[in-house]
Amino acid sequence: MFKRIPKLFKNFYFLTAFLFVVWMIALDSNNVFTRYELSSKLERLEDEQEYYVEKIEEVRKDHDELFGDQMSLEKFAREKYLMKKETEDIFIVDETE
């Protein structure tokens, strides 16, 4: 039975290397599939981090604008929340087309 097995597969070093590769690819806790999932998650989290850093800067800018002086407070309220005085009318112009 063992005579039909090629000599390469009987080699101790080949068997050891083969078992090591199988172990690292499929059986280890840091296998290839887990590493791929973790790197994908890391990339997604880095993208989210960029998004939130940009949002923080926007909020910081709005905060500085809001708590500046009375004129900037009125400007902020008019632009962001479409607020108006009692005697004013608001016309919204849509420039998407």
Q: Tell me the per-residue pLDDT of 7-53, one tens digit each, with 9 for 90 and over.
A: 777 788 989 999 998 888 888 888 888 889 999 999 999 999 999 99
- Is residue 67 domain-resident? yes
Query: Is residue 13 one of the residues assigned to a domain?
Result: yes
In a domain, 87, yes or no: no
Between 43 and 83, whose confidence is greater? 43
What whole-number distance in Å separates Cα of residue 27 and Cα of residue 75? Answer: 62
Instruction: Report the number of distinct structural domains present in the chain.
Output: 1
- 33 in a domain, yes or no? yes
Whether 96 is covered by a domain: the verdict is no
Tell me what pLDDT residue 90 has: 74
The pLDDT-based confidence of 2 (bands split at 50, 70, 90) is low
Q: Give residue 18's domain range.
A: 7-81
Residue 71 lies in a domain: yes
Q: Is residue 92 part of a domain?
A: no
Q: Mean of the pLDDT values across residues 64-88?
A: 79
